[in-house]
Amino acid sequence: MAPRLFYFVRHGETDWNAERRLQGQLDIPLNARGRQQSAQCGAILQDLLAKGGRAAGDFTYIASPLVRARETIEIMRTGLGLPGEGYATDARLAELSFGRWEGLTYKEVRALDRSVLAVRERDKWNFAPPDGESYAQLLVRVREWHAGVAATHNVIVAAHGGVARVLMVLFGVRAPQDATQGDVAQGVVYGFGQGMMERYG
């Protein structure tokens, strides 16, 4: 059996992204740039599917239940010629919870919790913010989700930067501590396979 196709899109920009605020599981909508990025991802996917001889209807579409991810997938689906609402959501794809830090910038966190933030810098993978969760905990729920529908269908997913980081570990692309480094871009499409991750756009 051929490997399943797995395309991942981080949601488009929100005003809080632009302000570098920790959104976590707070429900922040896309801004105008984020809607443009989502349309761009739809165009990238359209090109990828055409080159691969695939139809948009050959995929299962799944999003985080947070509004920024749902807006993203609806815009992408419209660009692919599909009804915007024809997708599933799964709570296991929600962003990492930043607990009491949600809504704050890291500058504000540093002013409030400098000693706690120093602990995070030593081990970002296993660190959980106050009342929040760690990447290690996020991996548990994303792995459980992946073992279901994603293991048996070709999927296009719209979710979050934290989810992308644990997918890198789940697919064997990066070690846990390496996965916490660097940016997860908006307005691009990531293709995942065992031991590989491609960026398009």
Q: Which are the catalytic amino acids?
A: 11, 95
CA distance 31 to 176: 31
Calpha distance 146→116 (Å, rounded)? 32
The 8-class DSSP code of residue 52 comes to: T
Is the separation of the CB atoms in 64 and 163 below 8 Å? yes
- Phi and psi, residue 100, nearest 5°: -70, -10
- For CA atoms 191, 181, 174, 65, the dihedral sign is negative
Alpha-carbon separation of residue 137 from 80, 124, 162, 186 (angstroms) = 34, 12, 11, 24
Whether 38 and 159 have beta carbons less than 8 Å apart is answered as no
